[in-house]
């Protein structure tokens, strides 16, 4: 029996995994919010199965946490750690960092070594790339690349550049030169891709002229940070560095290269994904690796059940303009975001917001980059608030020391650049400050989750969300995370908003008495009403479709294919969008300037995307309306969903008239034009009958 009592939802998660396994679903996902004990669930699963197991994490800090939790739940287990210098690979249960499982380590295991696998959720300035310092390369430049799959060399496009600071480097000595790079940068060797920190004397790395022997590979800890650079390049995502033109990869984390490399080699009987969100930050769905999400327990339910603390939300209006900040992988390009946000005036605004809304509380702050983190920490210090910053350029020992000092109360404010998101556990945090926006629900979930863990005397956390100006980007908000119909009012808590949104107001009861063929006492009527109120249109923002179109237009083959398909349906698909197309898109929220830029094929694509996303949602609402008012389903469908305009939001004029006729505001704001038109006709007819 587990040494840690399990909560009801944890037991339900385990039952869901075991049921799925019996149904031959052997790659399930369990989704549970931060702070609800995901690691306890995976540990209990291992205890129940009592088989060999591998637990994978993508950060060193998470490896030890997982190993400790497994020991707590399953004290008899022999748990080994594989990361960095630790290499307990022969243990029956292994917890490993993905980065540590380079080819040499991975292939020590037989492919069927583990019955269960669980996934728990660059170069210094002056380095030569084709004879040019790496920091001088820019997006749009053409660069040489090597494709290991085809054994061919090619010229490809540089699509992005990255710069950060670090004190930890590897020095790689070859016969002809000495290279310095970050520890995790992959080099192509005779055994495949190996991160720099795992290269050894005698390894062979590929250069432009052939294989070159590594004479030595030494880790360096510098007294002062240095800037390091990396490039993003088109497929095959490689470039050449140093005088010898060594092949390196433009590395990024999972489920792509590292996880896939491991999962392609090992063959577990059960592969379980445990995550706070069903999607990765780069928008690659977990379902590209797993079969399905078999259990989901949301942050809303956890707050209502008392397992997470309530959230008091404060929105602060920033003055930065985000429209010129580019997007990559579903979220902002961090270098550009940091440039847009990191100003003395905006940093002072954040300090003022803390002093106004959460003075003296223990707070964690999320920023857009390393420089932003340090500048904002200084802004707090300048106002007499004890604060510190942590970033990935610091040594592991230094990061741990600052986290420990924050835990012990030596700092009130911890400002960080993407370090304290996944897996960071500090229940005493009372305030979370989002000094950076995000378009990623996964990242937003992780940031907010740093404050929702319960702690003695803590009944709620404060969330200070700094919102800046943008028309182009759709930013994630707390309402998106919790599933609320409307944003929270200033100072309102999530529990208060949920309570209001799940109660039927008195005017709605009166309205339902007129409409429902059942009595108002029937449990089904309030349920149908709340289902309608809760079923706001799917969040397909015009900016999401604009991003899809940008991706299509950036790929010559995709663009030709899109135009070719459109040509079968229309004349001159590359001509300007029509007045009718632009008008309809504007009804879906597209600005005039954006619709004017679209060619005809792109406008048609956008309208089809809106229709596709809305069609299933609208069909569900028709079923709800038919039950609620006792109407014929097919007739309602004809009147509510046959034309594209039926799906667009009700006009202000329609909404005004419906309110005058006594329709509850909660219903009015969810209506489409088709629903509003039908409802107005019905209510006017009823009114005429009573005159």
Q: pLDDT for 14-55, tens place per residue?
A: 999 999 999 999 999 898 988 899 899 999 999 999 999 999
* Residues in a beta bridge with 314: 464
Q: What is the end-to-end Cα distance of the chain in Å, rounded?
A: 71
| Between residues 185 and 61, the one the model is more confident about | 185
**Residue 499 phi, psi dihedral angles, 5° rounding:** -60, -40
Distance, in Å, from the CA atom of 420 to the CA atom of 448, rounded to the nearest integer, reads 11
Other Cβ atoms less than 10 A from the Cβ of 520: the count is 14
pLDDT band of 280, cuts 50, 70, 90: very low
**Could you tell me which residues come within 8 angstroms of residue 371 by beta carbon, excluding any fewer than 6 positions away?**
338, 342
* Residues in a beta bridge with 219: 170
pLDDT at 555: 80
- In angstroms, what CA-CA distances link 553 with 108, 364, 582, 606? 45, 40, 19, 13
Distance, in Å, from the CA atom of 45 to the CA atom of 28, rounded to the nearest integer, reads 13
Mean pLDDT over the full length of the chain: 84
Most confident of 266-280, 417-431, 646-660: 646-660
In tens, the pLDDT along 300-345 reads: 899 999 999 999 999 999 889 898 887 765 678 777 888 999 999 9
pLDDT at 657: 92
pLDDT at 255: 32
pLDDT band of 519, cuts 50, 70, 90: very low
pLDDT band of 249, cuts 50, 70, 90: confident
In tens, the pLDDT along 174-216 reads: 877 888 888 878 899 877 788 888 787 778 899 988 888 887 8
pLDDT of residue 537 exceeding 70, the answer is no
What does DSSP say about strands 238-241 and 246-249: parallel, antiparallel, or unpaired?
antiparallel
In tens, the pLDDT along 210-246 reads: 888 887 888 887 777 787 888 888 888 899 998 888 9
pLDDT of residue 283 exceeding 50, the answer is no
Residue ranges and CATH numbers for the domains of the chain are 8-124+260-297 (3.40.50.300), 141-251 (2.170.16.10), 305-502 (3.40.50.300), 538-618 (no CATH), 649-688 (no CATH)
In tens, the pLDDT along 582-641 reads: 998 988 889 998 999 999 999 999 998 888 877 777 888 888 888 877 778 888 888 887
Distance, in Å, from the CA atom of 209 to the CA atom of 206, rounded to the nearest integer, reads 8
pLDDT of residue 415 exceeding 80, the answer is yes
**Could you tell me which residues come within 8 angstroms of residue 676 by beta carbon, excluding any fewer than 6 positions away?**
650, 651, 654, 655, 658
Distance, in Å, from the CA atom of 70 to the CA atom of 79, rounded to the nearest integer, reads 8
pLDDT at 279: 43
* Residues in a beta bridge with 178: 173
Distance, in Å, from the CA atom of 322 to the CA atom of 472, rounded to the nearest integer, reads 8
pLDDT at 394: 74
* Residues in a beta bridge with 460: 310
Other Cβ atoms less than 10 A from the Cβ of 518: the count is 15
DSSP state of 6: P
| Between residues 140 and 116, the one the model is more confident about | 116
């Amino acid at each position: 029996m587990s040494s840690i009592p399990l909560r009801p939802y944890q037991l339900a998660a385990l039952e869901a995994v075991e049921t799925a396994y019996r149904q031959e679903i052997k790659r399930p996902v369990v989704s549970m919010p931060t702070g609800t004990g995901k690691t306890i669930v995976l540990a209990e699963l291992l205890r129940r199965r009592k088989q060999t197991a591998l637990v994978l994490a993508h950060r060193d800090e998470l490896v030890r946490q997982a190993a400790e939790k497994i020991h707590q739940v399953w004290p008899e287990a022999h748990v080994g750690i594989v990361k960095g210098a630790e290499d307990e690979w022969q243990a029956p249960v292994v917890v490993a960092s993905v980065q540590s499982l380079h080819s040499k380590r991975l292939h020590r295991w037989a492919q069927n070594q583990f019955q269960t696998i669980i996934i728990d959720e660059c170069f210094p300035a002056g380095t030569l790339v084709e004879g040019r310092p790496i920091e001088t390369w820019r997006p749009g430049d053409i660069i040489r690349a090597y494709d290991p799959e085809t054994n061919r060399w090619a010229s490809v496009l540089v699509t992005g550049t990255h710069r950060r600071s670090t004190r930890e480097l590897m020095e790689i000595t070859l016969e002809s030169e000495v290279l310095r790079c970050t520890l995790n940068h992959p080099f192509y060797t005779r055994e495949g891709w190996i991160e720099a920190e795992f290269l050894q004397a005698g390894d062979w790395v590929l250069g432009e002229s052939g294989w070159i022997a590594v004479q030595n590979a030494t880790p360096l800890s510098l007294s002062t940070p240095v800037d390091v650079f990396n490039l993003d390049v088109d497929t095959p995502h490689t470039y050449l560095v140093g005088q010898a033109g060594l092949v390196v990869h433009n590395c990024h984390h999972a489920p792509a290269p590292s996880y896939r490399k491991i999962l392609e080699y090992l063959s577990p009987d059960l592969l379980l994904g445990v995550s706070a969100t069903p999607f990765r930050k780069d928008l690659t769905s977990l379902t590209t690796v797993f079969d399905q999400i078999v259990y989901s327990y949301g942050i809303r339910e956890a707050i209502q059940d008392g397992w997470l603390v309530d959230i008091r939300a404060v929105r602060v209006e920033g003055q930065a303009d985000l429209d010129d900040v580019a997007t990559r992988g579903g979220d902002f390009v961090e270098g550009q975001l940091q440039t847009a946000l990191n100003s003395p005036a905006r940093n002072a605004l954040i300090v003022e917001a803390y002093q106004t809304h959460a003075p003296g509380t223990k707070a964690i702050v999320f920023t857009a980059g390393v420089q932003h983190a340090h500048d904002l920490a200084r802004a707090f210090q300048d106002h007499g608030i004890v604060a510190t910053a942590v970033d990935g350029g610091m040594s592991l020992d230094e990061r741990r020391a600052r986290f420990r000092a924050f835990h012990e109360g030596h700092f009130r404010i911890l400002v960080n650049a993407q370090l304290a998101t996944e897996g960071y556990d500090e229940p005493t945090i009372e305030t979370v400050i989002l000094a950076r926006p995000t378009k990623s629900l996964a990242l937003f979930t992780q940031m907010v989750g740093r404050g929702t863990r319960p702690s003695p005397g803590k009944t709620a956390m404060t969330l200070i969300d700094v919102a800046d100006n943008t028309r182009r980007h759709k930013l994630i908000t707390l309402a998106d995370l919790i599933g609320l119909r409307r944003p929270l009012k200033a100072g309102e808590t999530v529990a208060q908003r949920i309570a209001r949104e799940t109660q039927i107001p008195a005017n709605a009861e009166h309205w339902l008495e007129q409409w429902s063929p059942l009595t108002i006492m029937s449990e089904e009527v309030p349920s149908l009403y709340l289902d309608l109120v809760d079923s706001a249109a799917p969040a397909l923002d015009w900016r999401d479709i604009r991003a899809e179109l940008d991706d299509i237009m950036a790929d010559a083959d995709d663009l030709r294919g899109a135009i070719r398909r459109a040509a079968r349906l229309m004349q001159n698909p590359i001509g300007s969008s029509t007045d009718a197309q632009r008008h309809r898109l504007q009804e879906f929220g597209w600005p005039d300037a954006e619709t004017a830029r679209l060619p005809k094929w792109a406008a048609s694509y956008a309208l089809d995307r809106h229709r596709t996303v809305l069609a299933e949602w609208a069909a569900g609402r028709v079923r709800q309306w038919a039950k609620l008012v006792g109407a014929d389903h097919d007739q309602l469908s004809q009147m509510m969903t046959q034309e594209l305009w039926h799906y667009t939001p009700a006009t202000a004029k329609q909404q005004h008239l419906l309110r005058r006729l006594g329709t509850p505001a909660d219903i009015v704001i969810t209506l489409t034009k088709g629903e509003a038109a039908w409802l107005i006709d019905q209510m006017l007819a009823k009114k005429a009958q009573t005159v």
